[in-house]
Structure 1
Amino acid sequence: MTTPGIDVPDARGRTALDQKGRDLTGNPDVVIRDVELLATAWHVLRRTTYDYRHPAGHWSTQQRETYDRGDGATVLLYDPERRTVLLTRQFRYPAYVNGHPDGMLVEAAAGLLDDDDPASAIRREAAEELGVTIGDLEEVFQVWMSPGSVTERLHFYAAPYTPADRTSAGGGVAAEGEDIEPVEIPFDEALKWITDGRIADAKTIMLLQWAALSGPLSSR
């Protein structure tokens, strides 16, 4: 018997997806026992069984499900002269099904790395989503956004832009089902949108607050 994603390629041509994590040795208090492949429709859902040594010295066997969608990158585009930021608005079904009124979220441009390095990936995403050709790019930090279940590490960037840098209309990749609206707003207004809930996306809030506290738009 063969299993797609393990013995034979799945729909995306991947095999050996059940091997991820089996060779981890960095933490002597964690011993990986088994990795089960639960789903590979697009990203990868695994269930890992491991032994864990507690601070008191005793061991217990635990299981965790992890959702592996690859790593990603995001960028805050800001105009230092006009004190504006350029964000996106798009439909997010997971937010919609979990209580957001219409699922239309205002966010910083972002996307998965795929086969690119983080800087190249976010330059690609900024061009596709917002039509901006990024020049200087500053790395802000790297964050695990939902470490209880999602493996993704997100690379955060900031970059200045001017109206002349908006070299296309943006809007995303239609072939991938993207329908993205660029949203340019004053920076101080964006901060108010956090307070009143019009901006409710974690990565965007983190970047805006960084910009306000110690970034290029701070009052220091």
Structure 2
Amino acid sequence: MTDAASPAPRPGTVVPDHRGRTGLDLTGRELNGNPDVRVVDVELVASAWHVLRRTTLDYRGPDGQWTRQQRETYDRGNGATVLLYDLARRTVLLTRQFRYPVYVNGHPDGMLIETAAGLLDDDDAITAIRREASEETGVRIGEIEHVYDVFMSPGSVTERIHFFAAPYDAGTRTGAGGGLEEEGEHIDVLELDFDESLAMIRDGRIQDAKTIMLLHWAAIDGPFAR
């Protein structure tokens, strides 16, 4: 007979969740790089497609006193993004797709203009962004430049995004792009004049952080500056 006072283990801990994962409540328990932080407990709050954890930790402040705190972190894995540019024609290749989180937070229609991007899954960053660029824009990336790696929302989201830039031309556009239908992706491919893309930042037509960062990099330190 099951003890009513002992609830069944949450899927993703000692029993697999729907994706076959276990041990999701162990992440962070091994951290020891900061002597002013001691991880006390990690609770798995949810493990749908991505993972939500509530961590209890002790933090030693500048006065030497320890305080107990809790932090919730959303773990969706790391990602990569790439700015595709044609220097000769002064164009960039961007995407547009529906993003419900921005729609529910005030974007007029949720159709966000972005650089090609995606999660790494089990690949390294360069392999992942070559895959995503091909799926989303139809471009086969050859030469590629690493720009920087950025934590995009460090207050609650663990994701680190690897930023890249790569040239494209008619010869590297080997497909139509548009994303994967089996993953529910419906992506428009936009080829824009580079100066127009900067104007779109100023007037609010481009509001995606990674896209703004890469376009400004291209103008200040990247291919269009050089």
Tell me which interval the TM-score lies in, with the shorter structure as reference length. Answer: over 0.9
2:95 counterpart residue number: 88
Q: Could you report, residue by residue, the CA deviation over 1:192-216 in whole angstroms, capped at 9, with x for unpaired residues?
A: 0000000000000000000000101
Unpaired segments ≥5 residues, structure 2: 1-7
Match of 1:130 in 2: 137
Match of 2:149 among 132, 142, 150: 142
CA radius of gyration, larger in: 2
- Once the two structures are superposed, residues 98-138 of structure 1 have per-residue CA deviations (whole angstroms, 9 ceiling, x without a partner) of 00000000000000000000000000000000000000010
2:212 aligned to 195, 205, 209, which one? 205
The answer to whether structure 1 residue 59 and structure 2 residue 66 are counterparts is yes
1:169 aligns with 2:176: yes
SS at match of 1:210: helix
Q: CA deviation at 1:2?
A: 2.9
2:185 is matched with which residue: 153, 172, 178? 178
Equivalent residue letter for 2:137: L
Match of 2:5 in 1: none
Give the alignment's Cα RMSD to 1 decimal.
Answer: 0.6
In the TM superposition, structure 1's runs of 4+ consecutive aligned residues that sit over 2 Å from their partners are none
Counterpart check, 1:3 vs 2:18: no
Q: How far apart in 2 are the matches of 1:144 and 1:13?
A: 28
Aligned length: 219
CA distance in 2 between counterparts of 1:44 and 1:168 reads: 34
SS at match of 1:206: helix
**Take 2:67 and 2:16, find their aligned partners in 1: how far apart are those partners?**
35
Q: 1:41 maps to what in 2?
A: 48
Supply the distance in 1 between the matched residues of 2:221 and 2:79 (Cα, whole angstroms).
23
Distance in 1 between residues matched to 2:212 and 2:117, nearest whole Å: 13
Looking at structure 1, the residues matched to 141 and 73 of structure 2 have their Cα atoms a distance apart, in angstroms, of 33
Q: Which position in structure 2 is the counterpart of 1:106?
A: 113
Could you tell me how far apart the structure 2 residues matched to 1:163 and 1:108 are?
18
The secondary structure found in structure 1 opposite 2:25 is: helix
Amino acid at match of 1:97: V
Offset, 1:7 = 1.1
Equivalent AA in structure 2 for residue 107 of structure 1: E
CA distance in 2, matches of 1:163, 1:103: 30
Counterpart code for 2:74:
Y
Equivalence for 1:214? 221
SS in 2 for 1:100: coil
Q: Does residue 1:16 correspond to 2:23, yes or no?
A: yes
The alignment's TM-score, normalised by the length of structure 2, stands at: 0.96
Q: Letter of the aligned partner of 2:18 in structure 1?
A: A
Q: Give the 3-state SS of the residue equivalent to 2:195 in structure 1.
A: helix
Instruction: Give percent identity, aligned residues only.
Output: 70
Structure 1 unmatched ranges of 5 or more: none
The code of the aligned residue for 1:210 comes to: W
